């Protein structure tokens, strides 16, 4: 018999160390391929305006505001590509859906990168999903193959008989009203969709048909699905309550500063407008000093560095690039994180050319690029009283301040 100090028996293998669990990475599939015919309107409900933004844009922003959501895929009807692209930040991928909801979800699941471990499947027409609700779903799916929010049925249930009369009362014990997002381990729900029954109402039905348990977590009354015209007034009230509650808002400020020197040329590009001049501005891109300052202000408000981090001047593909590429990227990055641009103030510092005659066109162009009302964009100019490099007309400087407004960041 071995003693406490005997060497281990070489015939008995040491127990293998457990494999470390893969870090959780959460993706989201947003189902936006429906037609929404009960809602009416010239475009499907997910593209209709809610408080100045398309419903789809608000839903994407609500999901993106949660720090655990690292990937978002939006599944659309093939006919809606232009509507979707106009509503969404450029970085958000869109994929065409299928003939059924299950087919659309399957397309979204297939589009998620394999590094995703867990997925949230959410209705595009539920723009009021909260971080707290997402937290509950993700916490439950750590211990179960699936989890979904729901509300208990509290009203009496009737079964309709002939002539629209009440035929009988149905028991409501144990009944729940389903909501989304419905959360799953990605591999499990992909496999479940591969053998999904036809006509499944939602992903919980798909999961259960594959033998997966789905935990119920408490839903929220405001997590409504916009379905009929009478839902709009309620949605407006919910939105007003959220925007009037400081606890639901986060405001970030960013500052930007940029300089470009004069060189040979016959015009300068300032805030997206070509202004005739006896010299041009030098830079790796089109040297739009105003747009660069605004772009850096947005990146700064997001704590995302500056243009050089995202578009390195050492990369030849950006040589001579139009600066609206950079600005659109910054605005899109803000939207992905649940923010919109509240207002922009840009000051150009130069002796010449004179900015005043072109300021209105610059305001209009910047507003168009950022998707803002022109009244939220200010472009003005000042001289440096012949002092410094701008006073000596060696170059132009620009300063910009940007306010980003969004839902409160999740803890």
pLDDT digits (tens, 9 = 90+) for 68-112: 898 999 999 999 999 999 998 888 999 999 989 999 999 999 999
Nearest C-alpha neighbor of 72 from the set 93, 86, 51: 93
The structure tokens listed for 91 are 């970085």
Q: Residue 258 pLDDT > 60, yes or no?
A: yes
pLDDT above 80: residue 409? no
Question: 106, 17, 28, 31: which is closest to 63 by C-alpha?
Answer: 28
User: How far apart are the C-alpha atoms of 403 and 333, rounded to whole Å?
Assistant: 14
Domain definitions of the chain by residue range: 26-244, 249-407
Task: Select the more confidently predicted residue: 265 or 37.
Answer: 265
**Structure tokens belonging to residue 323:** 């600066």
State the fold for domain 249-407: 60s Ribosomal Protein L30; Chain: A; (3.30.1330)
- 13 — pLDDT class (breaks 50, 70, 90): low
**Structure confidence at residue 4 as a pLDDT band (50, 70, 90):** very low
Q: Point out the least confidently predicted range of 13-27, 154-168, 234-248, 251-265.
A: 13-27
The region of weakest confidence among 220-224, 256-260, 310-314 is 310-314
Residue 247 reports pLDDT greater than 70: no
Cα–Cα distance for residue pair 318/157, rounded to 1 Å: 63
Instruction: State the average pLDDT over residues 177-188.
Output: 96
Maximum average pLDDT range among 32-41, 235-244, 362-371 = 362-371
- Main-chain dihedrals φ then ψ at residue 6, nearest 5 degrees: -70, 145
Average pLDDT over residues 162-183: 93
Share of the chain above pLDDT 90, in %: 70
pLDDT of residue 267: 95
- Report helix angle 324-336 to 289-301, nearest 10: 20
pLDDT of 10: 47
pLDDT the model gives residue 3: 45
- CA dihedral over 160, 37, 75, 58, signed as positive or negative: negative
Domains 26-244 and 249-407 alike in fold: no
Between 200 and 181, name the one with better pLDDT. Answer: 181
Give residue 375's pLDDT: 86
Whether the pLDDT of residue 176 is over 80: the answer is yes
Question: What mean pLDDT, rounded, does the chain reach?
Answer: 89
Residue 1 has pLDDT above 50, yes or no: no
Domain 26-244 has CATH 2.60.40.10: no
State the pLDDT at residue 52.
Answer: 85
Residue 170 in this model has a pLDDT that exceeds 60: yes
Residue 316, both tokens: 């030849």
In the predicted model, is pLDDT for residue 7 greater than 60? no
190-199, 280-289, 334-343: which range is least confident on average? 334-343
pLDDT at position 193 over 90:
yes
Sequence-separated (6 or more) residues with CB below 8 Å from residue 317: none
Summarised one tens digit per residue, pLDDT across range 292-309 is: 999 999 999 999 999 999
How far is Cα 201 from Cα 189, in angstroms, rounded to an integer? 15
pLDDT score recorded for residue 390 = 94
Percentage of residues in the chain having pLDDT higher than 70: 92
Please tell me the predicted confidence (pLDDT) of residue 244.
Answer: 64
Mean pLDDT in residue range 35-47:
86
Report the pLDDT averaged over residues 129-149. 94
């Amino acid at each position: 018999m071995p003693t406490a100090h005997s060497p281990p028996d070489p015939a008995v293998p040491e127990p293998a160390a457990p494999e470390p669990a893969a870090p959780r990475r959460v993706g989201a599939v947003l189902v936006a391929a429906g037609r929404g015919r009960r809602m009416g309107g010239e475009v499907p409900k997910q593209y209709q305006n809610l408080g100045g933004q398309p419903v789809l844009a608000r839903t994407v922003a609500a999901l993106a505001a949660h720090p655990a959501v690292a990937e978002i895929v939006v599944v659309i009807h093939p006919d809606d590509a232009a509507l979707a692209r106009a509503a969404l930040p450029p970085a958000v991928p869109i994929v065409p859906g299928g003939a059924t909801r299950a087919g659309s979800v399957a397309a979204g699941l297939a589009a998620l990168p394999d590094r995703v471990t867990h997925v949230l499947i959410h209705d595009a027409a539920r723009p009021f999903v909260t971080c707290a609700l997402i937290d509950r779903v993700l916490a439950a799916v750590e211990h179960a193959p699936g989890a979904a929010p729901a509300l208990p049925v509290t009203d009496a249930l009737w079964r309709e008989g002939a002539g629209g009369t009440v035929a009988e009362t149905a028991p409501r014990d144990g009944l729940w009203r389903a909501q989304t997002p419905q959360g799953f381990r990605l591999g499990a729900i992909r496999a479940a969709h591969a053998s999904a029954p036809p006509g499944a109402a939602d992903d919980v039905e798909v999961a259960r048909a594959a033998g997966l348990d789905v935990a119920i977590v408490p839903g929220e009354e405001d997590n409504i699905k916009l379905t009929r015209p009478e839902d709009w007034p309620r949605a407006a009230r919910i939105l007003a309550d959220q925007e009037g509650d400081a606890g639901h808002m986060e405001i970030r400020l960013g500052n930007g500063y940029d300089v470009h020197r004069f060189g040979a040329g016959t015009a300068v590009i300032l805030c997206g407008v070509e202004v005739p001049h006896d010299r041009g501005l030098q830079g790796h891109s089109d040297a739009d000093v105003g747009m660069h300052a605004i772009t850096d202000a947005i990146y700064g408000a997001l704590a995302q560095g500056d243009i050089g981090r995202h578009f390195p001047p050492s990369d030849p593909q950006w040589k001579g690039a139009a600066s609206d590429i950079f600005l659109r990227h910054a605005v899109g990055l803000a939207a992905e994180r649940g923010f919109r641009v509240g207002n922009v103030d840009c000051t150009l510092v130069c002796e010449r050319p004179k900015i005043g005659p072109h300021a209105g066109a610059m305001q209009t162009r910047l507003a168009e690029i950022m998707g803002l009302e022109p009244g939220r964009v200010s472009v003005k100019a000042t001289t440096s009283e012949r002092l410094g490099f701008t006073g000596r007309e060696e170059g132009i400087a620009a300063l910009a301040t940007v306010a980003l407004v969004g839902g409160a960041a999740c803890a």
